[in-house]
Amino acid sequence: MKKWRRRLFKTFIFGAVAVLLLLVTGLIYQQVSTRQDQKTFIPPGKLYSIHGDNMHLYTGGQGDATVVLASGWGTADPYVDYYPLYEKLAPYTKFAVYDRFGYGYSDMTDKKRDVDTVADELHELLEISGQKPPYVLVGHSLGSLETLRFAQKYPDEVQGIVMLDGGSPEYYANDTDDIASVIGGFMNQFRIKTGLFRLTLQSNAVVEASNANRNGLTFVPDELKKIDTTALLLNYGNANTVDELREMTANAKVVVDNKKPFPFPLTILTADYFGASEPIWDKTQAEFTSWSKQSKQITIKDTEHYIHQYHPDLVANEILELVKK
């Protein structure tokens, strides 16, 4: 009996030491790899100090109006994600792709991710960087909330709004999914901090699967695809993006409470999810038109959530229609 207990104890100690070594190795692997990624992750645009932290803005094109592109939640690198779209826009209009704090090449911030703060940060970024209204605002997914709040606070600077499968404030105000607890939860953060998430992304099959709802980034050059993966490794699950999810319902209610139909055009582009969309989403997308006196809603066939990765030509045409008005 004593020998059995000694063996059991030794086995337990060996297992505990092995697990501890694996954890330490994973932590070191994650930290060293992160530092290496940061050295190669060079901003393609410019950094501007906003409230003491650096925000990234990538601009191009030509014309009188500027198309301001707001990414959806969790889009690690908006510069890469919007590539197929701003390449279509550049010959006809100016564009500006911005990274919220915690995204792309922007810093992390300790400021709460409430919708007023985010909208004001964008406004200051556009002013400091020398952008001039009128703006055509484009919001993808959860980016709809800051886009609408910006328009509510600075209506004289807005020429029109285009939503790319952007959720309506009413939809987000009633969303009961607690995604923040999953993304910011212990198990997911453990996976990130110990390098397990990084290890999974060494597999091309995993990377391809993660890009499946973005049409496999078909219209994105290979070198930018690599940058996108690096951005995901650096930004996924950080505190700012998790806080955005925690604030989602409250942010939506702020926008709803200040609802007043806009006098400028609003175009709602809705993905058909290859015929698998949800009834509640479709209903709220149709009702989203109530946010403007000049609105229309179009369902884009053969698309997933990232419409601009499937049919950038169609999206660009709808945006340019508002630019010309």
173-223 pLDDT, tens per residue?
Answer: 998 778 888 888 888 888 888 888 888 888 889 889 889 999 999 999 999
Q: Going by DSSP bridges, is the β-strand pair 94-99/135-140 parallel, antiparallel, or unpaired?
A: unpaired
**What pLDDT score does 201 carry?**
87
**What pLDDT score does 38 carry?**
87
pLDDT category, 3, cuts 50, 70, 90? low
Buried/exposed code over 278-303 (b: 16+ C-beta within 10 A; e: otherwise): eeebeebbeebbebbeebebebbeeb
90-121 pLDDT, tens per residue?
Answer: 999 999 999 999 999 999 999 999 999 999 99
123-156 pLDDT, tens per residue?
Answer: 999 999 999 999 999 999 999 999 999 999 999 9
Domains annotated on the chain, with CATH: 46-323 (3.40.50.1820)
Instruction: Name the residue with tokens 């510069």.
Output: 79
41-63 pLDDT, tens per residue?
Answer: 999 999 999 989 999 999 999 99
Q: What is the mean pLDDT of the chain?
A: 91
**What pLDDT score does 31 carry?**
83
**What pLDDT score does 83 carry?**
98
Average pLDDT (229-257) is 95
257-303 pLDDT, tens per residue?
Answer: 999 999 999 999 999 999 998 999 999 999 999 999 999 999 999 99
- Residues contacting 209, CB < 8 A, separation 6+: none
89, two tokens: 């826009």
**What pLDDT score does 312 carry?**
98
Gap between the Cα atoms of 179 and 246, Å rounded: 8
Buried/exposed code over 45-68 (b: 16+ C-beta within 10 A; e: otherwise): bebbebeebbbbbbbebebebbbb
What secondary structure does DSSP assign to 281-310, as a single string? HHHHHHHGGGGEEEEEEEEESS--S-HHHH
